[in-house]
Structure 1
């Protein structure tokens, strides 16, 4: 197998599983909610714990990957994800559900940052945007599997069986990464952890990071927190679609996601040649902000296709990892990516939970979310995104500050 494929395929398959785990509650959430009598706020909290797992791991992951390399670290983290699947599948009460979901998030928290770090070492700058687009498209395939295919599998073996199957697949992904990805580019003389931590703090306090992080994070709330969980309830409970028709729309939304990942890969690859990547991101971010407005103003029967549009343009912020990491030395790639990811998933956790709390305030007599609740939540999301754009628009200079320099 060519070296490029040995690097790409194992990481991409693991990312497919991470995206499946991210969105699976859009389908599995209904039977889980019924069995454990969860409110919309409880369902939102349980699902958002996936992102809390991301938040608490980003700081140590950045240091570990720069010290030991992404291959070994990602293989180990997926074992934790598999354990989370088992805990979730065997849960006897809601607290065990919450713990399982959290552990799944901890394991999956490296699924994007590991490859981003590896690709920085293995591929030249002009190829990275396209490689990242292809990688993210595999996540879109995972999202598609979280629709109709998961519904069919759940009918056959139940939601608990679905999570056991995914858990077994994550173990296989861990072994594939460990045995197939080449060891070249792994640090031969690991840097002292204290130096790595000091540099990580320097990244976290960097103007370069905070100029772009607020907008990158809040734009991704739409994709990570809204589309992944609330597209299904909107279709089933607000539009009042039959379950099988809603599952078909969710799968179509995943096709939009794949198209977005691939399309942005090509667009950013070309933009990179002319130094226009940041301009593309800002234009894409503005387009993402238009989607909540469409959900608010359009008649209900016209809204299902908007979920496809939302999924297609939502991935624009993924390329901010590449934009930001290029402002720092290559040996700091993991810490730069995980610093940005920490901000992104902290916002995803708060965004998904906050969205759920708003919906909980506007439940109907059957306890289901209403369109009025969605409208209020979408207005709140749009306001947050507009505020988050200010640091980028008000920046006095687009030139990055000097990156932290390691003492000799």
Structure 2
């Protein structure tokens, strides 16, 4: 029961982080008017915030392994609260960028910390299910940042809405500091910094970590970038939906992840050998969905098709949790935070590249159909690299079995495994 309460306290921070991260998704049009900027400059808010998130993942993993999750989560809550409060009062574009940067750094320190707590306080067999459930509950923050935030912005206004959100998050830092346990026994607080940094290289050389990176890269970025920034303008400007209808369609992204996450977590906990086949199946079907969205005659799709497409794409979030199970399985406990940070970089690099690409293409062409091709290009790249590292990770598992070593997941040898040499 104590472990469960520890997880609950920590997961609230992650819910707040997702809320702050996605709040610009429905406030994008207001932000463009407030700061007098066009699509590319508006996209820079997300590119900056998510880019910093990606850059902070490896340092966050090192900090968590070195000082423990409690300290890192406390600092994260303070930074997110201050960043959102600054965004509430910012009246100039540079100050708005600074606010989102501070928020992005705080956001970056949450998820890895929560998963490190899960790894320390729950058995390995429950890790995949709890990682997926954590990610799914994070979508509650996304849900709050869709229809409810839209209504609050309309009634209370920009400044009051974001000030309250910032103050509540900063105050929660006190709960974190008082309720979470101190650093785990296996933290590396006494090690020289050089030794700790060596763990990053060791983690990256593990094929399972590299596979996790590309799984995360290819699965989570498309629904995330739609929810973070470009989904709302796409639905309103390109598909002609009202703001209320657009918010409801974006809510489908949230509900799909909220329902799909726990279900997938339970499934892969019971049948871990299904993890990668499920990822490959999702990537192939996601490419088919984008062919429908971008190739529909006339450009404007029926509402039912939009809802179905967004619902299927929403499963990319739950699928991305498989990446963290790979990091947990193929790295020693003392390196789990670092490996999780390395893996988490993948998806946010893809979000950064796609958000920037969509903004630039939209400025150049004015067409969402062309701009969203950036997502298809990155999805194709990610699917290719995932397939490559899946085969190499499988080869590493079979090589370990041949040496008589224990492996976390039993795999069935296939003919196409014969010609692969583990990297």
TM (norm. structure 1) is 0.89
What residue number does 1:406 align with? none
* CA-atom RMSD in angstroms: 2.3
What residue number does 2:374 align with? 377
- Residue 292 in structure 1 maps to residue 278 in structure 2: no
1:349 aligned to which of 335, 347, 352 = 352
Alignment of 1:13-52 (within 5 A): 13-52=12-51
Residues 139-195 of structure 1: per-residue CA shift (max 9 Å, x gap) = 111111111100111112212322212211221332222211233735577331321
- Residue 398 in structure 1 maps to residue 395 in structure 2: yes
Contact 2:214 2:386 in 1 (8 A): yes
Give distance in 2, aligned partners of 1:333 and 1:382: 27
- Residue 6 in structure 1 maps to residue 9 in structure 2: no
Contact 1:285 1:316 in 2 (8 A): no
What residue number does 1:280 align with? 278
What residue number does 1:228 align with? 228
Alignment of 1:5-404 (within 5 A): 5-183=4-182, 185-187=184-186, 190-192=189-191, 193-272=193-272, 275-298=273-296, 300-301=301-302, 302-363=305-366, 370-392=367-389, 394-395=391-392, 397-399=394-396
Give distance in 2, aligned partners of 1:126 and 1:269: 6
Contact 2:203 2:339 in 1 (8 A): yes
Q: What's the offset of the Cα at 1:389?
A: 3.2
Q: What's the offset of the Cα at 1:31?
A: 0.7
Indicate the larger mover: 105-114 or 377-386: 377-386
The structure-2 alpha-carbon separation of the partners of 1:75 and 1:186, relative to structure 1 and needing over 3 Å to count, comes to: farther
Give distance in 1, aligned partners of 2:275 and 2:382: 20
Give distance in 1, aligned partners of 2:123 and 2:357: 40
Give distance in 2, aligned partners of 1:378 and 1:56: 21
Contact 1:23 1:229 in 2 (8 A): yes
Give distance in 1, aligned partners of 2:222 and 2:274: 24
Give distance in 2, aligned partners of 1:217 and 1:68: 27
Contact 1:49 1:98 in 2 (8 A): yes
Give distance in 2, aligned partners of 1:189 and 1:312: 36
SS of equivalent residue, structure 1 residue 276: helix
Give distance in 2, aligned partners of 1:330 and 1:396: 19
Contiguous gaps of at least 5 residues in structure 2: 406-423
What residue number does 2:418 align with? none
SS of equivalent residue, structure 1 residue 127: helix
Q: What's the offset of the Cα at 1:343?
A: 3.1
The structure-2 alpha-carbon separation of the partners of 1:278 and 1:128, relative to structure 1 and needing over 3 Å to count, comes to: same
Contact 2:85 2:167 in 1 (8 A): no
Residues 253-273 of structure 1: per-residue CA shift (max 9 Å, x gap) = 32122112222222222223x
Q: What's the offset of the Cα at 1:327?
A: 0.5
TM (norm. structure 2) is 0.86
Indicate the larger mover: 249-258 or 208-217: 208-217
Give distance in 2, aligned partners of 1:331 and 1:127: 18
Q: What's the offset of the Cα at 1:313?
A: 4.0
